[in-house]
A and B are shown apart, each in its own frame.
Chain A
Amino acid sequence: MDSFIAALTIFVLAIFVGFEVITKVPPILHTPLMSGSNAISGITIIGSIIAAGAKYTTLAAILGVTAVTFATINVVGGFLVTHRMLQMFQKPKTDQKEKKKS
């Protein structure tokens, strides 16, 4: 029971932190916010790693490898695509710098 209350406390506090941080994200970055937070939700990868490595049963091994694959797609794809988008938001700034130099 104690561990449940501790987990619940963390859950509730994390939701408050989430609300505080995310309400400060401007609308122009909402798409990267979605893909970026999506990558973070790929944290289930750590659960899947242990399950795939422990190999309890054949079924568990198959499910494990599927779970690792799904979560890795989520993590790798999510962070990469977010990076790609965010760099586009930076480009105009470098353009202006170049103009100033020339």
Chain B
Amino acid sequence: MPQAFVNIAYLISSTLFIFALKGLSHPRTAVRGNLLGALGMLIAIVVTLMDKSIVSYELIILGFILGSAIGAISALKVPMTSMPQMVAIFNGFGGGASTLVAALAFIEAIELNKAMGTQETVATVASGLIGAVTFWGSMVAFAKLEGLIEERPIRYKGEQIVKIIFALASIIFGIIFGMEKNMNYYWYLVATSSILGVLLTIPIGGADMPVVISLLNSYSGLAACATGFVLNNNVLIISGSLVGASGIILTNLMCKAMNRSLTNVLFGGFGEIVAETDEDKVYGGKIKSASPEEIAMLLENARRVVIVPGYGMAVSQAQFAVRDLMKVLESKGIEVEFAIHPVAGRMPGHMNVLLAEANIPYEKLKEMDEINPTFEQTDVSIVIGANDVVNPLARTDSNSPIAGMPILDVDKSKTVVVIKRSLAPGFAGIPNPLFAADNTLMLFGDAKKMVQELINALKES
């Protein structure tokens, strides 16, 4: 097949990928967009299979079968609550593939005695470095989210120096590889970058995961992009840049939603600070706990209720119970909306997916800026398993670790109901004065169980 034809097919694929992302601008067009993206990928794959340098298809087919089986089974089986770790591990595979493809391009250059120019050499080093960091960083993120390793930040003395040493070592191996053109140095580079990937992710904990996953997403795109420069292949460069841009935008949004810089997230040591504020001073004697029946009575008389979901809702799989609560309230003529904080959950948009899974119409899911002005007209706000994102200290205490972080102003509603297991602090490790506020009622217990008891109490009355 003439190369021009192949390149035109790749151009069509690239265009379809752009349409795929464009489709995501609205839930109505998103499904079609995603299918266009898949079509683009299919075209690219089919055209590539006709490449003349392919001598046998067994290995390709083997890879297809293995990959499709693993990919399809995990994609169809994964519960929506585990979506963050799913995306993390898929990112990792993308990065890993880039590292391997760059290595293979180098082997090919040696076998065919092709000269490697500066562009190819630099790009090979970049693919190896970024790809390996992505792969291992994603594996650690996966293990953390899946609870296989400690989710809280793991920190030690001199960690920044250790990271810098491994980063420098990777770059030095990269330079030697470029000069010597010796495969061994590529593998040394991959080894040090792999350790770097682990070291960079290990110290980052729970609630910072949305940033990490977005960043790894961006890296997997950049790795693909670097591979594109190795192979001089435009569709790789275009797709890689699109994904890289997407990851960077999301990373930026997540950082803004926590009022922290990216450097602070990556190197900051958040969540390890022991709270100086005395919990007793904040909570002492001011906590009012209520029974589901009492809260049901309160809800009976409400006109507008806002539900604020947090990671706790995901952990207890309470999204279906929450949907039933919404239905019961609506059947009584009460207006119900959901307030979604950008960093609620463990990845961007995590809560929206869970609520969509429970069949809650997306029109009811409101962003922070949209819903905040309405809390004053809200009779009851129900906070389910969220903590730091509703902590008024962010507005009032400039010394607090979350100072300046945009929060959901639930405290402005007439009554706040907080469903939570205990008064344990959230990821920021600080007490939450909201729990002790005059207009707050605590409903202690598991989110799912408590929501169900609320529903029962509402139905009985």
The CA-CA distance from A57 to B235 in the complex, in Å, is: 27
The CA-CA distance from A18 to B83 in the complex, in Å, is: 24
The CA-CA distance from A38 to B220 in the complex, in Å, is: 8
Across the two chains, which residue of chain A brings its CB closest to B29? Answer: A86
Give min CB distance, B68 to chain A, whole Å.
5
Provide the residues of chain A in CB contact with B227, threshold 8 Å. 44, 47
The residues in A between 46 and 78 inclusive whose CB is less than 8 angstroms from any CB of B are 46-57, 59-61, 63-78
The residues in A between 14 and 39 inclusive whose CB is less than 8 angstroms from any CB of B are 14-15, 17-19, 21-39
B59 contacts the other chain (Cβ, under 8 Å)? yes
Is the contact region of chain A dominated by helix, strand, or loop, or is it mixed?
Answer: helix
Provide the residues of chain B in CB contact with A61, threshold 8 Å. 59
Give min CB distance, A42 to chain B, whole Å.
6
Provide the residues of chain A in CB contact with B242, threshold 8 Å. 14, 17-18, 21-22, 37, 40
Are the C-beta atoms of A37 and B21 separated by less than 8 Å?
Answer: yes
Residue among A10, A24, A71 with the most chain B CB within 10 A? A71
Across the two chains, which residue of chain B brings its CB closest to A77? Answer: B71
How many residues of A are in contact with the other chain, CB < 8 A?
A: 83
Provide the residues of chain A in CB contact with B105, threshold 8 Å. 47, 51
Provide the residues of chain B in CB contact with A74, threshold 8 Å. 67, 71, 90, 93-94, 97
Are the C-beta atoms of B41 and A15 separated by less than 8 Å?
Answer: no
How many residues of B are in contact with the other chain, CB < 8 A?
A: 115
Q: Knowing A46-B236, A51-B104, A67-B97, say if A79 contacts B90 (CB, 8 Å).
A: no
The CA-CA distance from A42 to B217 in the complex, in Å, is: 11
Which of B17, B20, B25, B44 makes the CB contact (< 8 A) with A24? B25
Q: Knowing A44-B227, A64-B104, A92-B362, say if A85 contacts B76 (CB, 8 Å).
A: no
Question: Which B residues form the contact surface with A (CB < 8 A)?
Answer: 13, 17-18, 20-22, 24-28, 30-31, 33-35, 37-38, 40-41, 44-45, 48-49, 51, 53-57, 59-60, 62-64, 66-68, 70-72, 74-76, 78, 80, 83, 86-87, 90-91, 93-94, 96-98, 100-101, 103-105, 107-108, 111-112, 117, 119, 213-214, 217, 220-221, 223-225, 227-247, 249-250, 253, 340, 342, 347-350, 352-353, 356-357, 359-362, 365, 367
Question: Which A residues form the contact surface with B (CB < 8 A)?
Answer: 3-4, 7, 10-11, 14-15, 17-19, 21-57, 59-61, 63-93, 95-96
Q: List 25 A-B contacts (CB under 8 A).
A: A7-B234, A10-B238, A15-B241, A31-B352, A34-B214, A37-B217, A37-B246, A38-B220, A40-B21, A40-B243, A42-B94, A48-B97, A53-B53, A54-B108, A56-B111, A63-B104, A70-B100, A71-B97, A72-B67, A76-B75, A77-B70, A78-B90, A84-B76, A85-B80, A86-B34
